Amino acid sequence: MQDIELALSARNICKSFAGVAVLKNVSLNVAKGSVHALIGANGAGKSTLIKIITGAYTKDSGEIFLEDIEVNMSTPMFANSKGICAVYQEFSLVNTLTVTENVYLGRLEKTSIGTVNWKKCKAKVEEILLFLESDISPDAVVQDLSVSQRQVVEIAKSLSHNAKVLILDEPTAALSDKEVQVLFKVIRKLKNDGVAVVYVSHRLEEFPQIVDEVTIYRDGKNVISLPIEEASKSTIIKHMVGKSVSKSDPIRVKQGSIAIQVSKLSSPGKFQDVSFEVKSGEVLGLTGLAGAGRTEVARALFGLDKESTGEVKIQENVVTISSPMIAKKYGIAFVTEDRREEGLIMDASISDNLAVTVLERLKRKLFLSKSKIDHHSTSSIQNYDIKCSGSNQVVRRLSGGNQQKIVVAKWMATNPNILILDEPTRGIDVGAKSQIYTLIKESAEKGLAVIVISSEIPEILDLCSRILVMSAGKLTANIENVDVSQEDILEYATQ
């Protein structure tokens, strides 16, 4: 059999963050002129490997070879110079500039007298677009292009670096079916020209149309590599999940009336026609793979998405939630997934962070009462077992678990009726995780309607009595958590 000529070979790559191993001797071998799918559940290590290959992260150990020559990807610029380029789900284009300006941003061709040689730049962009069989004008302003056209511009930018390896991260997440086929045509063109394409996607149904080989990661380790002919959807899911995990009974308490009812909630380009209801005392799980639209639904319910449409009823009354302040007024609390950027004032004290959601309650006449603030922070620290030197300690100095407890505590202080928790246990230790689980159970027992958003499927199965699954912005399942397996959830999540 003829030897396969590799464009890229990553061998025995290891990477740890703060002592936690994220990649454990993983490898990836991509042949020239092939499309190689890299897949795994959230947290499997795909993104970390890509960032190492593209020079955004440095590896702890291992080797990377380009066409049998070992290279050390020190920076993204160096990776580009070696022909390794990535097109991410979030484009890195400047919307107010033209296609030509974007493709050659920061490296415009110059004339002998030092001025920009626009004629030469434009001619090169036209040549690339012609190769891609695109009718986009080099003079078009990016903000006037469709999503699929912007993706072509990103690919053109990669080809201007003479890409040998092109990494596509969730390339079809925001595309229509027609636009997907246009992208596939471009990928086949690149493949025929000898470019190696690393294809990262959760849409397993697309693989037979475009992919040659599949590599599966789980928990930072290689699981298996298979030719596409041997990689059925069920086989892929089986390897993504691994052995069945024993699970505890989900939280089930006596449920009351409907606390919140959502009908045909939509947001352009993010999610569409999402409908569900949550009863008082119910713990509802919302899950799906990266880019499914889970967080976007939560942000719409909390008034953070100004473009969302649809109907929301709270206690059977139709409401319009146009801001977090109004959401809070209707008894909604939202623990964001990004506690450092959105959930906390990192350079403020514990006391100030705990007070920010209940300032009116902490006033004495027209002014804030120091004694009320002190009492509130002291009782919260005790009730939520926040490990700190005192209420004046700066939040930035706390562990991730204790920071998360503060985010939860400040919202529970508002006495909500509806509690939305987005990735509530991400990046916290086992002890803090257990305390968050206890809080969720106690909240349900008190009659709160609880929505838990998590990419950890075992967590959803352990906590939630009912589960919503999203894929590509659509609700694909609304099921009772009875005899439901991880495989079942992934089946719905990859539709």
Cα dihedral 341→346→347→353 (10° resolution): 120
What's the CA gap between 115 and 94, in Å, rounded?
Answer: 22
What's the CA gap between 170 and 180, in Å, rounded?
Answer: 11
Domains of the chain: 6-241 (3.40.50.300), 258-493 (3.40.50.300)
Q: What ranges in 317-369 are assigned the alpha helix state H?
A: 324-329, 350-355
Contact (CB, 8 A) for 459 and 481:
no
pLDDT value at 64 more than 90: yes
Those residues with Cβ within 8 angstroms of residue 181's Cβ, 6 or more apart along the chain or in another chain: none
Question: 322 vs 111, which has greater pLDDT?
Answer: 322
pLDDT at 392: 87
Each residue of 437-493: pLDDT tens digit? Answer: 888 999 999 999 999 998 888 889 989 999 999 998 999 999 998 888 888 898 898
In the chain, DSSP finds a helix count (H) and a strand count (E) of 16, 22
Residue 256, amino acid: G
Query: Could you count the other beta carbons within 10 Å of the beta carbon of residue 371?
Result: 9
Q: Dig out the tokens for 250 from the structure.
A: 């989900």
Poorest-pLDDT segment among 99-108, 421-430, 437-446: 421-430
Each residue of 323-346: pLDDT tens digit? Answer: 999 999 999 999 988 777 788 888
**Closest Cα partner for 329 from 356, 303, 295?**
303
pLDDT value at 244 more than 70: no
* Plot region of 288 (φ>0 → left; ψ -120 to 50 → alpha; else → beta): left
Cα dihedral 206→162→155→92 (10° resolution): 120
Whole-number percent of the chain with pLDDT over 90: 43
> How deeply is 103 buried, as exposed, middle or buried, from its count of CB atoms within 10 A (0-12, 13-18, 19+)?
buried
Query: Could you count the other beta carbons within 10 Å of the beta carbon of residue 156?
Result: 24
pLDDT at 320: 92
Most confident of 99-113, 159-173, 211-225, 350-364: 211-225
Tell me the pLDDT of the chain averaged across its residues.
Answer: 88
pLDDT at 246: 43
Give the residue-averaged pLDDT of 39-60. Answer: 87
Q: Dig out the tokens for 330 from the structure.
A: 């209707």
pLDDT at 248: 56
CA distances from 426 to 186, 227, 270 (A): 37, 34, 23
Question: 333 vs 306, which has greater pLDDT?
Answer: 333
**Closest Cα partner for 435 from 369, 384, 390?**
384
pLDDT value at 427 more than 70: no
pLDDT at 166: 92
**Closest Cα partner for 84 from 67, 104, 99, 103?**
67
Strand intervals (E) in 91-220: 165-169, 196-200, 213-218
What's the CA gap between 280 and 298, in Å, rounded?
Answer: 18
Per DSSP, 90 falls in state S
Contact (CB, 8 A) for 417 and 449:
yes
Give the residue-averaged pLDDT of 129-152. Answer: 88
Those residues with Cβ within 8 angstroms of residue 387's Cβ, 6 or more apart along the chain or in another chain: 398, 399, 402
Those residues with Cβ within 8 angstroms of residue 50's Cβ, 6 or more apart along the chain or in another chain: 38, 86, 167, 169, 198, 200
Give the residue-averaged pLDDT of 132-145. Answer: 90
